[in-house]
Amino acid sequence: MTVPPTDSFERKIDYLRLSVTDRCNLRCTYCMPEDGVPKLDHSEILSYEEVLTLARIVVGMGISKIRITGGEPLVRRDIITLCSKISNIPGIKSLSLTTNGVLLPNFAEALFSAGIRRINVSLDTLKPEKFAAITRYDRFSDVWEGIAAAHRAGISPIKLNAVMLRGVNDDEIEDLARLTLSHPYHVRFIEHMPFNAGQGEGRERKFVAAPEILERLKKVAPLSICDEEQSNGPAVHFRFRDAPGKIGIISPVSNHFCPSCNRLRVTAEGKLRTCLFSKEETDLRQALRDNLPIEAICRIIRNAIASKPEKHELSSPVFRKCISRQMFSIGG
């Protein structure tokens, strides 16, 4: 087994979020403008052959956990074939997917067969009309059915991600959390991050900080911390007494998790990013298209890892600062 690379701050880097498209079949107000964005030309996006080569290289380096994301990964043609090929790379320990869930009813079983065992579904609300207002599409029932289909297919855990916005869906904090009392899902509350899309001027007012979410959850039912989960990723985990599901709170803004960050991101056009909020990117597409030897590409990746920033700069005055790219184009 290859030992994962470490960065200059002794963080073990073993996780890659791999975006396979910048396109999406929803237009969430906090992520994309209503009329979409200029699409990348097909030639600008990594081909599946290039994605697979890259996946083999990183797994060979010890980066053994890969999450497929986007844009909406399920809109890319032949996504199942790609997942299947990645999950068969010797040395890969985990292949997961982040999706808006709209196409999950049709894809859940095939995803499981292709080796996807863990899935994150974005679900900001349990109300169909509000879902349509947030995502600009009336597809709540597809997503809800997709989540059930993923459960039936045997995918576990199923994590439901809700980005919290005051005056939009913060009235549902308790109801979303109560889902964990009846379903074995992980409901995760995510602080809104200051990207360019959507919330504009109202961003500061709409921000709901993690401590406020936690205080409200404590009033729903006895809540205890889940120690067994604490080392996995950026969420702090809790559970209501006897609940089959868990609750996660992800606070990239109010309490950033940089000291334990183990991840890299690759955008759909093959740009390697070592920090979600950094402007620095390394062009891996060019390296792949120049047919550089594997060792040379490994060296490029190792150099990028060596300059991974210690932490992001989203501290005050956080809300006046915007990040040039948006989540759909970075790979959330």
Give the residue closest to ligand SAM by C-beta: 332
Closest contact distance (angstroms) between CB of 224 and ligand SAM is 26
Closest contact distance (angstroms) between CB of 159 and ligand SAM is 9
Q: How far is CA 174 from the centre of its chain?
A: 23
Residues within the interface to ligand SF4 (CB under 6 A): 24, 26-28, 31-32, 70-72, 100, 122, 327-328
Smaller CB separation from ligand SF4, 26 or 304? 26
Give the binding range for ligand SAM (CB under 6 A) out of 38-46, 185-193, 291-299, 306-314.
Answer: 185-193
Instruction: Please tell me whether residue 195 binds ligand SAM under the rule CB under 6 A.
Output: yes
Closest contact distance (angstroms) between CB of 213 and ligand SAM is 14
Closest contact distance (angstroms) between CB of 70 and ligand SF4 is 6
Indicate which of ligand SF4, ligand SAM, none lies near residue 192 (CB less than 5 to 8 Å, by partner kind): ligand SAM
Instruction: Please tell me whether residue 332 binds ligand SAM under the rule CB under 6 A.
Output: yes
Give the binding range for ligand SAM (CB under 6 A) out of 53-61, 84-92, 191-199, 286-294.
Answer: 191-199
Written in H, E and C, the secondary structure of 233-277 is CCCEEEEECCCCCEEEEECCCCCCCHHHCCEEEECCCCEEECCCC
Give the binding range for ligand SAM (CB under 6 A) out of 3-11, 190-198, 281-289, 305-313.
Answer: 190-198
Q: Measure the CA–CA gap between 213 and 73, rounded to whole angstroms.
A: 29
Cα–Cα nearest to 101, from 22, 162, 45, 48: 162
Indicate which of ligand SAM, ligand SF4, none lies near residue 297 (CB less than 5 to 8 Å, by partner kind): none
Closest contact distance (angstroms) between CB of 139 and ligand SF4 is 10
Instruction: Please tell me whether residue 190 binds ligand SAM under the rule CB under 6 A.
Output: yes
Q: Measure the CA–CA gap between 43 and 40, rounded to whole angstroms.
A: 8
Indicate which of ligand SF4, ligand SAM, none lies near residue 16 (CB less than 5 to 8 Å, by partner kind): none
Instruction: Please tell me whether residue 70 binds ligand SAM under the rule CB under 6 A.
Output: yes
Q: Please identify which residue in 98, 125, 180, 282 interacts with ligand SAM, judged by CB under 6 A.
A: 98
Instruction: Please tell me whether residue 163 binds ligand SAM under the rule CB under 6 A.
Output: yes
Q: Measure the CA–CA gap between 247 and 187, rounded to whole angstroms.
A: 5
| Site of interaction with ligand SAM (CB under 6 A) | 24, 30-31, 69-70, 72, 98-100, 122, 161, 163, 190, 192-193, 195, 327-328, 332
